[in-house]
Amino acid sequence: MGLRVLRIIVCLFVLMGIHGMVLHRQHRGTPATESWRYDADTIRCAIAIDRSDAMRRNVGFNYELLGAFGEDKGSYMRILPPRPAEECWRLLSCDSLSIVVFNTADSIPASLRDSLLFSMPVKGDIVWAVSKKRPALLNAVNFWYGPFQNEAFYRQMSRRYFRSYNTNYLVSMLEKGRVDALSPYDDLVRHHASRIGMDWRLLSAIIYHESQYNIDARSSRNAKGLMQVRDVTADLYGIPTDNLYDPETNIRVGTMLFDDLLQDFREEGLDSANVIKFALASYNSGGGALSRRRAEAAEMGLNPDEWDDVAVAYSRYSTVTPAYIEAILETYRLYQQVIE
């Protein structure tokens, strides 16, 4: 705690000193912006925030915040896929990274502390670290973030990430008639769902159960991001796998995959309800597993074109996929009630 307070105090003194330099330059007629101007085509970044449930919103928030900073500076923000904090600090120290986003409650290697500079806090205990070799970058961050906090866009963005999207909360808000969002990514979900003629609330329900709206979620099978897209799927659509932690890219690829699954089952002539359920089953367990379970259902004298019958075959091995489908449809039904 003492170290965090000390860092904040140091940052304040640095800012006061820079402010004085700006006033001095203005008095001399030198353009004030020169003291914190930072021009770079690409700024390499990493988010080293603890990936716990309590911190996951900060990950998405800072991802978007880095993008806003880059857009303001005319720079491309190359945000690295999630990696251990130790590696982030090593890359920052050797100037292979420009910015590391971290929580001041986490430890910094003692051998690196004197080689780093820290921004003002961007949200709670979250700070951006840069190499001491890049003071112009630190100045650019601090002088950009101060005014940016007062903009309406920042307030809207902050509310999007730090409000509650828990389904129980949505139910309570429904009773008051005040539900206007399902996740921080509603605009992206609406856009990609509309491209394939899909109800965006169903797509939101899939994302909720795949990742709980966590942009850097990663499964034991190496499925990544909001829609838990695997590398082989990204390769299928010609998307670089490193981009799967980008929310827009992940939702786009996941939506394309789900649309292809829907089309496959429509072509089989299944009714609309079964099309959705079989597509969800394939998305969850894979097409090969679904084909085997349908064949087993037929051998059992059940209808391989009816999900309820195929679910019986699944349940001989595991209830994971049937439970997954029911959970998504239940959430979808809730979403249909709470928002248009």
Q: Which of 155, 172, 199 is the last residue of a domain?
A: 155
**Which residue range forms the structural domain that includes residue 210?**
164-338
Q: What is the pLDDT of residues 91-116, one digit of tens each?
A: 998 889 999 999 988 888 888 888 89
Structure tokens that stand for 31 in this block: 């353009």
CA dist 229 and 86 (Å) reads 26
Q: What is the pTM of this model?
A: 0.86
Closest by CA to 90, choosing from 121, 119, 116, is 116
* pLDDT (0 to 100) of residue 112: 86
Q: What is the pLDDT of residues 247-293, one digit of tens each?
A: 999 999 999 999 999 999 999 999 999 999 999 999 999 999 999 99
Contacts of 295 (CB under 8 A, 6+ apart): 304
* pLDDT, mean of residues 44-54: 86
Which amino acid would we find at residue 21?
A: M
The answer on 139 and 58 residing in a single domain is yes
The answer on 150 and 14 residing in a single domain is yes
Percent of the chain topping pLDDT 90? 72
- Confidence label for 325 from pLDDT (cuts 50, 70 and 90): very high
Q: What is the pLDDT of residues 184-217, one digit of tens each?
A: 999 999 999 999 999 999 999 999 999 999 999 9
Which amino acid would we find at residue 69?
A: F
The answer on 200 and 68 residing in a single domain is no
The answer on 195 and 313 residing in a single domain is yes
Contacts of 6 (CB under 8 A, 6+ apart): none
Q: β-pairing, 126-131 with 42-47?
A: unpaired
- Name the H helices within the chain: 2-28, 56-73, 85-93, 135-148, 152-162, 167-174, 186-195, 200-211, 231-236, 247-267, 272-285, 287-299, 307-315, 320-338
* pLDDT (0 to 100) of residue 7: 47
Closest by CA to 199, choosing from 323, 322, 339, is 339
The answer on 184 and 39 residing in a single domain is no
pLDDT at 11 over 90: no
Secondary structure of residue 329 in the 3-state scheme: helix
The answer on 133 and 282 residing in a single domain is no
- Confidence label for 25 from pLDDT (cuts 50, 70 and 90): very low
**CATH number of the domain encompassing residue 138:** 3.40.190.10
The answer on 149 and 170 residing in a single domain is no
How many domains does the structure of the chain reveal? 2
What is the rounded average pLDDT for all residues in the chain? 88
**CATH number of the domain encompassing residue 174:** 1.10.530.10
* pLDDT (0 to 100) of residue 143: 95
| Triad 232, 235, 240: Cα angle to 5° | 115
The answer on 203 and 130 residing in a single domain is no
The answer on 115 and 171 residing in a single domain is no
Q: Which of 155, 180, 210 is the last residue of a domain?
A: 155
| Triad 3, 136, 2: Cα angle to 5° | 5
| Triad 228, 234, 237: Cα angle to 5° | 135
DSSP sequence for 40-82: -SEEEEEE----STTTHHHHHHHHHHHHHHHHHHT-EEEEPPP
The answer on 275 and 239 residing in a single domain is yes
Residue 42 buriedness (CB in 10 A; 0-12 / 13-18 / 19+): exposed
The answer on 223 and 125 residing in a single domain is no
CA dist 264 and 259 (Å) reads 9
The answer on 289 and 255 residing in a single domain is yes
Q: Which of 155, 179, 212 is the last residue of a domain?
A: 155
Backbone torsion region of residue 213, taken as left when φ is above 0, otherwise alpha when ψ lies between -120 and 50, otherwise beta = left
Choose the weakest-confidence range: 23-27, 37-41, 73-77, 91-95: 23-27
Phi and psi dihedrals of 116, rounded to 5? Answer: -120, 155
* pLDDT (0 to 100) of residue 108: 87
Residue 331 buriedness (CB in 10 A; 0-12 / 13-18 / 19+): buried
Percent of the chain topping pLDDT 70? 89
* pLDDT (0 to 100) of residue 16: 39
Q: What is the pLDDT of residues 146-175, one digit of tens each?
A: 999 999 999 999 999 998 888 888 888 888
